[in-house]
Structure 1
Amino acid sequence: MIVQRRSVVKWLSVSLVMALFLSVWGGANRASAFTASNADTAMNSLVNVFYDANAKYFYTNSDHLIHAAHAFGPNGGLYTDFWWEAQMWETVMDAYQRTGSSTYRTMIDDIYTGFNAKYTNMIDNQFNDDLGWWALACLRAYEITGTQEYLNRGSFLFDQVYAYWDTTYYGGGIWWRKDATDPATSSNAQKNMASNAPMVMTAIKLKNAYNNSTYLTKAQQMYTWIKTKLVSGNKVNDHMEGTGAGIVKDWDFTYNYGTFLGAATALYGATGTSSYLTDANNAAGYVIDKMTSATTLMYEGENDAPGFKMIFARNLNQLRVQAGQSQYLNFLQQNATQAWNHKRTSDGIIGSDWTAPTGSAYIQSLTAAAGASILQFVSPDNYTGNIAGNGLYEAENARRTLASGVGMINESTQTGFNGRGYVAGWNTNGTSLDFYVNQNNAGTKTITFRYAAAAGNASRYVKVNGVDVAANLNFSGTSGWSSWNTVSMTISLQAGSNTIQLGYDTSKGNNNWLNVDQLYGL
């Protein structure tokens, strides 16, 4: 998988933390219900917009044009790339397992044929995580269809990837890339969650298919390395890199937590060992508590990033079903409802941020599949309202507008913050934070910002749904960056979707540093 990772900038001067406290009103104004019919419509829309039946392959973009943002797949990027097509295939399997439809059963075979026509030699791909996703998907296809070819291919790909298990660096682990296995000579040399955790799930499927305990031994070996090297408490880190003992990169992606809890769930199913179940629940709990916006999975970016929450949600559902963890059903149903409620009405496609309406620009296939897939594998609850959630909005999970790519970073060095951290380094004109707030009733609300302002008094503007409601809201200085204060104001929200924007505009008198952490309800 080619992850478009973002560098982290260290700011030495400030921290501001804001917490918005939003009182959530119940009400009768309701959006579309999450029903089985909705799931049908969402899948039909995905196929109608993205699937090329002649090529037996999914287009990268909804407009069927090539865009530089993600031009990695066949035909110059017209069609989805290697690991995206594996996820599209899994989405079709999600739909088949829900419906038993002969249409989706045929597509399972067709997509495999179309993929092999585009990639005539899969192992030319240098990314082990890409190969691993196809190994896992092939074995799922075997479990569904009984087709021997899928078992053979999945087994072959597993062996190809597992060959890159190596103890020379970091005490084990599978290398991310086949062409980068020495940190002393390659900056791409790393061992990550993406190339290891899915292989644990694959190994358990092979153990079940062949009744061969050797695969269980390999799964436990890989899992032990993952947990020892990439997991710290409840935090699931991204990868190790560097020479010698290596360093751990602690990038927070729902992808990491989803693949880890999937691996733990698979091992729990194979062994009944309770520690695996504990690990899976801890990873799930971290995301639900710290990587959501009012209980909806957070926006993580474009390109690869929208697929992260699909993988998390799919594996969370496996934890729910296979391990009997029914406590996650409501969370999954609420996220499915959010995705459905924010679809684009013109073509039924769901965008990358499930808390906000999908815009008019082209949508990428992996993005759309994430929204369609959760409606396939989660049972409908027939709820017809908006999802107001718990009224808690972590600023570090909010959407942000930067100026020339700079202006705010996530930070967790000061004490007293909530969630994963707070937004820091905020002193750049033209930058803002957007909180997408969904309500069932229109009404007047009191919101409160929690913040630290050790550089002295500061001010920011507040807009609600694009309209100025405070041109110069004052944030009184605090005694230090770990000293928090609050400021409140009254606003009006409409039923349905709303945007609360906290912004920096020097023409309105904004000044001094601030950082941001939460928005939550009173």
Structure 2
Amino acid sequence: MLTWKKPIAFALACLLTVSLFMPAPNQKAEAFTTSNADTAMTAFVNTFYDASAKYFYTNSDHLIHPEHAYGPNGGLYTDFWWEAQLWETVMDAYERTSSPTYRTMIDDIYTGFNAKYTNMMANVFNDDLGWWALACLRAYELTGTVEYLNRGSFLFDQIYSEWDTSYYNGGIWWRRDAHNPNVSANAQKNMATNAPMVMTAIKLRYAYNNTAYLTKATQIYDWTKLKLTSGSKVNDHMEGTGAGIVKDWDFTYNYGTFLGAAVSLYQATGSSSYLTDANNAAQYVIDKMVSAQSLMYEGENDAAGFKMVFARNLNRLRVQGGQSQYLSFLQQNATQAWNHRRTSDNIIGSDWLRPTGSGYVQSLTAAAGASILQLVPADNYTGYIAGNGAYEAENARRTLVSGSGMVNESTYAGFTGRGYVAGWNTNNTSLDFYVNQNSASTKTISFHYAAGAGNASRYVKVNGVFVSNNLVFASTSGWGTFSTVTVSVPLNAGSNTIQLGYDSSKGNSNYLNVDLLSGL
């Protein structure tokens, strides 16, 4: 039930109150090494895995929290699709290490899941079932256990039976209980359901040596590309009556599943057009859904696992598609994740650009960080990852208050990335940029902005300390005219927080649209 929760995850991302972090001057950065990958996976298993239940806990404190009270035992254990992703995290570790411990866990987790969900088909969400179908086929490829093939094949057939041309000229429905958009708001066809089924179908094509699965994979892919992509942009879903409308929500897992589907068809056919599609989707994320080349924070709950799906399939593109140009990007993100782990227990949080806090961490969140360290070959780099110096405002974290109107927008030309943050004039709100530096220094940074309502002013803090109480953003005469304003900031080696905020006691309330922080 991934799509249904996404607006909630996005709201949580926007409403999160940021606690600022000031690193100690002698804070040590550690390299991404094979030993780090071992430590990260061991920490993940030790923290979240209940060996007696053969199942993963939802939260690191093994308590139920209302933020994600889904899954067995009232939410004590992870829900349906989370457990499939964590099962794949274990497979990531097994592929890297060939450890008998992880090989045993592959079988045990399957057993534990079936004990908690005695009838998988009671779940009406086809995307949930699809993640298990895909994971089962991967488990079959790794272990040769026929039960995994049988279960994956069964689930694929059940999901594929939901292919329907009555609305939108094809596509698989998200839910098995919602097929008519005239009577149900839940009637939609989405990327999360359709793209993974392309990957599953190709796995079945080779498992059974049956080209009928290739035909089905091509059919699903062609519809998905036609209806849910536009150029390099990968959209979320279709809904509504008649021809339907496309919801263009940007989430990294949509790009990950689509490029993964393209890689699978490239492997099966050798057609370069699929490789082109995969590279286009990958490059969109690398160009537009990052902060200084690190995958952006997308929220908590489901959203914290989105970049795991993207990284897993980007690595497939690197290896199976022969696209070595992504190695450095993946290694840098793995290093960022590791460097920002919580050192007390080596658990990695939801934002790979800032240190993991002291509160409980969700299992899907931690799995994302653990997985990328398993997927990517260690580069043994020692030091911080400073990025490319460009931080898009639309990808930054926000501190909001009730009724504030900070939204992502792309109405006026002249912006970089995916757009800019618009509608900002509410007291006690801020944009928070998490900036990593290789060494301590003073930098002159620039904000790219539009101030069509007249002069605006905001404060700038660095690691909780004011560096400008009232930075003036001079009027740009119109919202389609962008300008820059600069300020000098002192930065520590390692992690820093640059906060651009509005305090009514320090400035005026004119609206301000912010596009980019640069100069780092």
Bin the TM-score by the shorter chain. over 0.9
Contact kept in structure 2, 1:338 and 1:354, CA below 8 Å: yes
What is the distance in 1 between the residues matched to 2:280 and 2:93?
A: 29
What is the distance in 2 between the residues matched to 1:235 and 1:203?
A: 24
What is the distance in 2 between the residues matched to 1:467 and 1:332?
A: 33
* DSSP-derived class of the 1:5 partner: helix
What is the distance in 2 between the residues matched to 1:502 and 1:407?
A: 16
Contact kept in structure 1, 2:6 and 2:303, CA below 8 Å: no
What residue in structure 1 maps to residue 101 of structure 2? 103
* Aligned counterparts, 1:498-509, within 5 A: 498-509=496-507
Deviation at 1:6, TM superposition (A): 2.7
What is the distance in 2 between the residues matched to 1:5 and 1:115?
A: 24
* DSSP-derived class of the 1:517 partner: strand
Contact kept in structure 2, 1:183 and 1:189, CA below 8 Å: yes
Residue 5 in 1 paired to residue 3 in 2? no
Deviation at 1:139, TM superposition (A): 0.2
What residue in structure 1 maps to residue 187 of structure 2? 189
Q: What 5-or-longer segments of structure 2 have no aligned partner?
A: 11-25
The counterpart of 2:119, out of the listed 115, 118, 121, is 121
Contact kept in structure 1, 2:439 and 2:493, CA below 8 Å: yes
Deviation at 1:120, TM superposition (A): 0.1
What TM-score, normalized by structure 1, do the two folds share? 0.95
Q: Which amino acid aligns with 1:50?
A: F
What is the distance in 2 between the residues matched to 1:382 and 1:2?
A: 36
Deviation at 1:404, TM superposition (A): 1.6
Deviation at 1:69, TM superposition (A): 0.4
Number of equivalent positions: 504
Q: Which amino acid aligns with 2:119?
A: N
What is the distance in 2 between the residues matched to 1:123 and 1:6?
A: 25
What residue in structure 2 maps to residue 32 of structure 1? 30
Contact kept in structure 2, 1:29 and 1:440, CA below 8 Å: no
What residue in structure 2 maps to residue 14 of structure 1? none
What TM-score, normalized by structure 2, do the two folds share? 0.96
Q: Which amino acid aligns with 2:227?
A: K
Distance 1:303 1:8, change over 3 A: closer
* DSSP-derived class of the 1:91 partner: helix
Deviation at 1:406, TM superposition (A): 3.1
What is the distance in 2 between the residues matched to 1:207 and 1:229?
A: 25
Query: Percent identity among equivalent residues?
Result: 78
Distance 1:8 1:343, change over 3 A: closer
Contact kept in structure 2, 1:8 and 1:409, CA below 8 Å: no
Q: What 5-or-longer segments of structure 1 have no aligned partner?
A: 10-27
What residue in structure 1 maps to residue 156 of structure 2? 158
* DSSP-derived class of the 1:509 partner: coil
* Aligned counterparts, 1:299-448, within 5 A: 299-404=297-402, 406-448=404-446
* Aligned counterparts, 1:283-298, within 5 A: 283-298=281-296
Contact kept in structure 1, 2:9 and 2:301, CA below 8 Å: no
What is the distance in 2 between the residues matched to 1:428 and 1:293?
A: 24
| Greater alpha carbon shift after TM alignment, 91-100 vs 479-488 | 479-488
Contact kept in structure 1, 2:297 and 2:350, CA below 8 Å: yes
What is the distance in 2 between the residues matched to 1:262 and 1:441?
A: 38
What is the distance in 2 between the residues matched to 1:146 and 1:81?
A: 26
What is the distance in 1 between the residues matched to 2:495 and 2:278?
A: 33
Deviation at 1:521, TM superposition (A): 2.5
Deviation readout 1:66-103 (Å, 9 max, x if unpaired): 00000110000000000000000000000001001000
* DSSP-derived class of the 1:144 partner: helix
* DSSP-derived class of the 1:507 partner: coil
Contact kept in structure 2, 1:135 and 1:157, CA below 8 Å: yes
The counterpart of 1:469, out of the listed 467, 470, 488, is 467
What residue in structure 2 maps to residue 81 of structure 1? 79
Contact kept in structure 1, 2:426 and 2:509, CA below 8 Å: no
* DSSP-derived class of the 1:506 partner: coil
Q: Which amino acid aligns with 2:421?
A: V
Deviation readout 1:467-508 (Å, 9 max, x if unpaired): 111111001101211111111111100000000000011011
What is the distance in 1 between the residues matched to 2:38 and 2:137?
A: 25
* DSSP-derived class of the 2:2 partner: coil
What is the distance in 1 between the residues matched to 2:484 and 2:315?
A: 38
Deviation at 1:29, TM superposition (A): 8.6
What residue in structure 1 maps to residue 276 of structure 2? 278
Distance 1:262 1:358, change over 3 A: same
What is the distance in 1 between the residues matched to 2:147 and 2:356?
A: 39
Distance 1:210 1:232, change over 3 A: same
Contact kept in structure 2, 1:30 and 1:384, CA below 8 Å: no
Distance 1:221 1:260, change over 3 A: same
Deviation at 1:44, TM superposition (A): 0.4
Distance 1:444 1:251, change over 3 A: same
Contact kept in structure 2, 1:57 and 1:111, CA below 8 Å: yes
Deviation at 1:407, TM superposition (A): 2.9
What is the distance in 1 between the residues matched to 2:90 and 2:185?
A: 36
Contact kept in structure 1, 2:443 and 2:519, CA below 8 Å: no
Distance 1:405 1:78, change over 3 A: farther
What residue in structure 2 maps to residue 19 of structure 1? none
Q: Which amino acid aligns with 1:5?
A: K
Q: Which amino acid aligns with 2:6?
A: R
Deviation at 1:314, TM superposition (A): 0.3
Deviation at 1:2, TM superposition (A): 3.0
Contact kept in structure 1, 2:9 and 2:300, CA below 8 Å: no
The counterpart of 2:200, out of the listed 190, 199, 202, is 202
What residue in structure 2 maps to residue 227 of structure 1? 225
Residue 492 in 1 paired to residue 490 in 2? yes
Deviation readout 1:237-281 (Å, 9 max, x if unpaired): 000000000000000000110000000000000000010000000
Q: Which amino acid aligns with 2:279?
A: N
What residue in structure 2 maps to residue 245 of structure 1? 243
* DSSP-derived class of the 1:243 partner: coil
Q: Which amino acid aligns with 2:274?
A: Y
Distance 1:490 1:255, change over 3 A: same
Contact kept in structure 1, 2:9 and 2:299, CA below 8 Å: no
Contact kept in structure 2, 1:472 and 1:510, CA below 8 Å: no
Deviation readout 1:29-48 (Å, 9 max, x if unpaired): 96101000000000000000
Deviation readout 1:162-192 (Å, 9 max, x if unpaired): 0100000000000000111100000000000
What is the distance in 2 between the residues matched to 1:452 and 1:398?
A: 17
* DSSP-derived class of the 1:390 partner: coil
Distance 1:63 1:29, change over 3 A: closer
**Which structure ranks higher in relative contact order (CA pairs < 8 Å, sequence separation ≥ 6)?**
1
Deviation readout 1:107-146 (Å, 9 max, x if unpaired): 0000000000000000110000000000000000000000
Deviation at 1:515, TM superposition (A): 1.2
What is the distance in 2 between the residues matched to 1:405 and 1:310?
A: 32
What is the distance in 1 between the residues matched to 2:283 and 2:512?
A: 29
